[in-house]
């Protein structure tokens, strides 16, 4: 059995529009899939860091985690992704830090919708 460690789980999802409802629903979908795929209990989440591309400013992704998933006591931070010309737009990214006995290789990173192009090397084969 692995020793318990803080490990990062990455994920990303795109939205169609810069709209509060779209951002909240997409974030809920993304986090729900990360939790499901990695069998995460909320009490094991150390922190979550969200970034959005420059074309998304209608809502904080962390709001979805608090309102839909009950992450009331999870420390969360939202920021802007570096605006690299020609890269994927309308994208919400997250890194969830969890206390786990799983190894880094056992964790499942989640990329949904248009964000599947970001880290194809981490997607299930």
The CA dihedral of 115, 116, 121, 125, to the nearest 10 degrees, is: 160
> Tokens at residue 18, please?
């810069």
CB of 115 closer than 8 Å to CB of 38: no
Q: Distance of CA 54 to CAs 51, 82, 88, 100, 119, Å?
A: 9, 8, 11, 33, 20
Are 40 and 71 within 8 A, CB to CB? no
Q: Which residues are catalytic?
A: 10, 66, 78, 81, 93, 111, 119
């Amino acid at each position: 059995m692995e020793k318990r460690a803080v490990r990062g789980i990455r994920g990303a999802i795109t939205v169609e529009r810069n709209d509060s409802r779209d951002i909240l629903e997409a974030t809920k979908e993304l986090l729900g899939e990360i939790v499901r795929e990695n069998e995460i209990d909320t009490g094991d989440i150390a922190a979550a860091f969200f970034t959005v591309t420059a074309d998304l400013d209608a809502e904080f992704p962390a709001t979805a985690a608090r309102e839909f998933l009950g992450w009331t006591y999870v420390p969360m931070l939202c920021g802007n992704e570096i605006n690299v010309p020609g890269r994927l737009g309308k994208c919400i990214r997250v890194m969830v830090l969890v206390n786990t006995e799983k190894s880094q290789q056992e964790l499942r990173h989640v990329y949904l919708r248009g964000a599947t192009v970001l880290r194809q090397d981490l997607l299930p084969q």
